[in-house]
Structure 1
């Protein structure tokens, strides 16, 4: 998909905004200094990006996570730090509940000149590909976010640094980079809406037969241009993107439901059981039935 560029605005005097949602992540409350709450409409279920970094925690619920070229399932206490301009999307399966912190610390920002702040560069560099944290880190982070929600402006700034220090100090063996490649959503104004329409179509319709020719037609680009632009802005080919979306959905059904493997194969969009089993084994290292038997 091309990328929807989200325009994020901060309250006067702040370099971040804290959002809380219960139900669906596109209906949020901005939690501002002193406990003030303002309704905000989000775009979390659309493939999008923004210049600001983002820290997201899903307290409850499940669904599919798309970050750069990564596609995977998420559940309760899913905790991710996203770098600037990294395209992402959360496709929620029912009601969810969580926090979002979006912030921007430009190199010239005064906070970047504080003692020890230079150590955050390693954290920010890792976040360029999306950084996933262990639930234990998420639990500690939630405490900081809850304090930030009702704190004064000055205290919130201190809590922002506390949160970043918490993420920086998280054990490396409990953090995972999500995207295999560095994918940046820097697209021109002419191609962005057309690519966005194609990717959103894939995310909403991947269980149906999807053809490259139709994607090219929807994009109103030449076949060569579309294929080049799609790889540039999702990190993978159109076919690979569709296949990974199907496999991530199938993985969730295999591990979290009792649906038959055959039913899952066709319901997730594969045209044959053989193709499904082959692709699933190549992606996850186990056949679907073998993975289910390990639960």
Structure 2
């Protein structure tokens, strides 16, 4: 399933987009765009795909996504067939990174938000009280204009910058290989994995990159990533395999090999463990009309 680039209409006198989508069902295809995006579902149910993540949405579902991350919201069959007792309805906020100027995110007060914007490259579902507060504001913003609407967006930024109530969606390996320069040990390890996950990367090798003994590195990795190095590496590889299966003309064997697996049985086992379905089932799911 090839993602296409789509844009929402923006009013000439507005610096960001607040858009209401309503109809029998959500019509958008698998797509991406250069803006950050908040998507609030106010009515209907169905399946949402964000990168290689497949989940389900219902009323009040709230997702925050970074630029160029492919996604789609697909309603359940009763909406497609016109048998549902309500319309599909949602509210979308879109903004580009520099909509308030190139230096906006570099001021000290934006440090927390900047971190969340970086994490949103994988997509995140917002939960708990943070979700309730943002949902309430987004519903009001539909009828706001001018400084009132901008003020509401800044309040949302504050909620995002200070919350821990979220779950990341797409796996790290789904995104393109990083080219970000490393400034510390944590980033150096992450970049090395993202550059080399499709090769025979070993524990002693990656430990040496961080200038740690293997035991020290394993403890460091588990503390910072909350999983073991091998578990993280498999998550990255399976995520990249999902990208190949969904967006390129690759069969399962090719996707396994190009993701760093030399053993097809191990690939299938790890894929099912992480995605709760086989590679073939995943490919069939993401290519459903």
- The equivalent of 1:100 in structure 2 is 92
SS in 1 for 2:172: coil
Structure 2 unmatched ranges of 5 or more = 80-86, 178-244, 260-270
Deviation string for 1:62-98 (max 9, x for gaps)? Answer: 1011001101112221110011110001111123222
Who is 2:180 aligned against? none
Q: What is aligned with 2:168?
A: 177
Q: What is the aligned partner in structure 1 of residue 133 from structure 2? A: 140
Q: Sort the Cα spacing of 1:100 and 1:135 in 2 relative to 1 into closer, same or farther, 3 A.
A: farther
Contact 1:133 1:175 in 2 (8 A): yes
Equivalent in the alignment of 1:4: 4
Q: How many residues align?
A: 196
Question: 2: distance between equivalents of 1:62 and 1:135?
Answer: 19
Contact 1:49 1:185 in 2 (8 A): no
1:168, 1:127 → 2: CA distance?
12
Structure 1 residue 9 displacement after superposition: 4.4
Q: 1:24 to 1:100 in 2, by over 3 A?
A: farther
Unaligned runs of 5+ in 1: 27-42, 187-215, 249-267, 269-295
* 1:49 aligns to 2:49 (yes or no): no
Report the TM-score, using the length of structure 1 for normalisation: 0.55
Inter-CA distance 244–20: structure 2 relative to 1 (3 Å threshold): same
Q: Distance in 2 between matches of 1:167 and 1:243?
A: 35
Cα distance, 1:11 vs. partner? 2.1
Task: State the Cα RMSD in Å.
Answer: 3.9
The equivalent position to 1:157 in structure 2, one of 123, 137, 150, is 150
Q: Which moved more, 1:118-127 or 1:142-151?
A: 142-151
Q: Does 1:109 align with 2:99?
A: no
Task: Give the TM-score taking structure 2 as reference length.
Answer: 0.56
Q: How does 1:127-276 map to 2 (within 5 A)?
A: 127-170=120-163, 172=164, 174-184=165-175, 227=255, 240=278, 243-244=281-282
Q: For CA contacts below 8 A with separation 6 or more, give which structure has more relative contact order.
A: 1
Deviations 1:30-61 (A, max 9, x none): xxxxxxxxxxxxx53x1110010110111222
| Residues 22 and 97 in structure 1, CA contact (< 8 A), matched pair in contact too | yes
Residue 90 of structure 2 aligns to a residue whose secondary structure is strand
Equivalence for 2:73: 90
2:15 — aligned with what? 15
Q: Cα distance, 1:22 vs. partner?
A: 3.2
- CA gap of 1:169–1:49, structure 2 versus 1, over 3 A, is same
Asked if the contact 1:87–1:184 (Cα under 8 Å) also holds between the matched residues in 2, the reply is no
Q: Is the 8 A contact 1:3 1:87 kept in 2?
A: yes
Contact kept, 8 Å, 1:61 with 1:96, in 2: the verdict is: yes
